[in-house]
Chain A
């Protein structure tokens, strides 16, 4: 009974934790500019994420080692510093973007300037991490995140034409702005499959002391949770396509994105959008900060764990605090949070092969996963997609930035 409860809780929290700054902004832009045509990108990205998350959980459960720790041990520091450095840089940018997202949400609610909120937000994130434990953080964030289901409600109330929506799941080439379409495809994938999620997942399996008999829970929560969670992302895209598309509104700021809620929620639109955005970003900010502490500690072999007394894992606590401080600084300096988000999620796709390929090697290593190895289909699918994605990202990011 307790297992069933844990399973349901896991699925619910995955749904609540699915969308954040990256997925909301990319899906909103995709919908506004290309209608339903990019739904397939969310679907493919979700399959990749669910497969990787399941593997990350499985690997950690069997080997009792997180992804970062295993990569250092198997490939040595010389190799590991490359994905580690890349992941930390993206974590910093993404964390700044999430903090920016929360600040914009508060500005939408109160009208007071965005910069004022950055420091207090950083402090609240730190306080939750300092006083929380893994269960409180994961379940609390996920349950609060259920407010993001309002994106599905909005899409539902707009009665989009089912046939048109279904067509969006078939990859197609648009008749206008091909570069932009390719850039948004890459961004949607990068926003969905964040490297921080994978290490966070594998560390979570260790924090929650999963054992091999729990593997089915891991499998079910990753596929069901991510599957249902992606419907929230799709809700953002569909709502944006139906509301903003015909008005020719390109989403250049979160304020414009908030307009997508007006037909469905009337005068509550901005409040509800701000809450969904704020809570989504807050959950992600906590997970990214925590993950930065995890990756650094696991790579260097320091004691770590949010369930440990803070005094017993001081380098771990210092690591996440410093990363949070740096991100707060980036956010305070002032930049456009939406642009920051888009750039960091697109860069994520570039570094994906560096993270995914060694991970696949581990998932085929008997010493790491014993008999629970990845199948040839999963190996081929994930390796091919991450390489193609990275090549595509390398081409379209410069085009997007310099092509205006």
Chain B
């Protein structure tokens, strides 16, 4: 990351991909598992979204692995909200972490965490 006055050059792979994402209250949302780029006929391509989700990670390894993970997510009943897509316009800050101006609850990033919580709350001592 280089700084020149007010503008900064950001290496998308080095400075954004795989970093922690936190919401506007500093709560963990996951990691930048992928980045999508919008191809616009005629105009230069544009960074579109930050993606969170195991299937995105899987597809980075191999398309088959990606589909397989997607299948597992569907099986767990969380497939519809995955991967979580956050428009780049919501990205507030790129530093040690990527900070977005949303709240965890407004995205699907906590779906699995919440689904597990309903089970875990039934176990004594889950506080």
Contacts and interface: CB of A to CB of B under 8 A. Distances in A.
Contact of A301 (B30, B126, B127): B30
Contact of B123 (A73, A77, A130): A130
A310 B60 contact: no
A130 B113 CA distance: 17
Contact of A76 (B17, B20, B116, B121): B17
Contacts of B112: 315
A78 B117 contact: no
Interface in A303-323: 303, 309-311, 314-315, 317-318
B31 interface: yes
A314 B117 contact: yes
Contact of A314 (B30, B57, B120): B120
Contacts of B29: 301
Contacts of B27: 303
Contacts, number: 61
Q: What range describes how many residues of A lie at the interface?
A: 20 to 34
B81 interface: no
Interface in A213-258: none
B17 A130 contact: no
A17 to B, nearest CB: 24
Contacts of A301: 20-21, 28-31, 52
A311 B120 contact: yes
Contacts of A81: 61
Contacts of B33: 77
Contacts of A78: 60-61
A233 to B, nearest CB: 36
B54 A315 contact: no
Contact of A73 (B18, B52, B114): B18
Interface of A: 69, 72-73, 76-78, 81, 130-131, 300-303, 309-311, 314-315, 317-318
24 contacts: A72-B18, A73-B19, A76-B13, A77-B18, A77-B33, A77-B57, A78-B60, A300-B57, A301-B20, A301-B31, A302-B28, A303-B27, A309-B127, A310-B123, A310-B126, A311-B121, A311-B127, A314-B113, A314-B120, A315-B112, A315-B113, A317-B116, A317-B120, A318-B120
In the A-B complex, list the 10 residue pairs whose CB atoms are closest, starting with the nearest.
Answer: A301-B31, A314-B116, A309-B127, A301-B30, A310-B126, A311-B126, A314-B117, A314-B120, A76-B18, A303-B28
